[in-house]
Structure 1
Amino acid sequence: MDPNDRLINFKMVAYLTGLSRSTIWKLENNGDFPERITLSKRSIRWIESEVMQWVSVRMRIPIEQDDSIHKARAKRMEKLEQQRAL
């Protein structure tokens, strides 16, 4: 860690990334987000430069649309239409 790096709290991480707590947690568990630093039982921080680097990399990666969401929605709509037809 660079001595000039700041440790930032969750609110700042959420602000910088635009992500929710649950999304950050999922990304961390998958190893797809900078590792948190536990200062105490109730205090966690991230290294600001690592979070900013992660954001920078994510901005360069094209987002792939998840067709499974659309398929699930179409399936629900089809089921609703079938129920209405009865």
Structure 2
Amino acid sequence: METANRILRIKQVMEITGLAKPTIYLHMKQGTFPKQIKLGPKAAGWLASEIQTWINCRIAASRVQ
């Protein structure tokens, strides 16, 4: 499976970002976190590439003096 198209579930996203579930959903609501994609009636996930881009942007923003 191509890494760019890898789908992460909420537990993986929480582990990778260090954010709690409510914080992830709050950032999504505020438009500051990648939106999830619908996988089924009760399943959703995030593209790994979008999560990595979000992390990279956070790193870059923290380095601005």
The TM-score with structure 2 as length reference comes to: 0.84
Which residue pairs with 1:6 in the alignment? Answer: 6
Identity %, equivalent residues: 30
Which residue pairs with 1:33 in the alignment? Answer: 33
Residue ranges of structure 2 left out of the alignment (5+ in a row): none
Residue ranges of structure 1 left out of the alignment (5+ in a row): 64-86
The TM-score with structure 1 as length reference comes to: 0.65
More strand by percentage = 2
AA partner of residue 60 (structure 2): R
- Over aligned residues, Cα RMSD in angstroms? 1.7
Greater displacement, 21-30 / 39-48: 39-48
Higher relative contact order (CA 8 A, sep 6+): 2
Alpha-carbon shift at residue 38 of structure 1 (Å)? 1.2
Q: What CA distance in whole angstroms lies between the structure 1 residues aligned with 2:46 and 2:62?
A: 25
Q: Max radius of gyration: which structure?
A: 1
Q: What CA distance in whole angstroms lies between the structure 2 residues aligned with 1:6 and 1:44?
A: 13
1:3-24 per-position Cα deviation (integer Å, ceiling 9, x unaligned): 8210110011001100000000
Which residue pairs with 2:17 in the alignment? Answer: 17
Which residue pairs with 1:69 in the alignment? Answer: none
Runs of 4+ in 1 over 2 A off after TM superposition: none
AA partner of residue 31 (structure 1): G
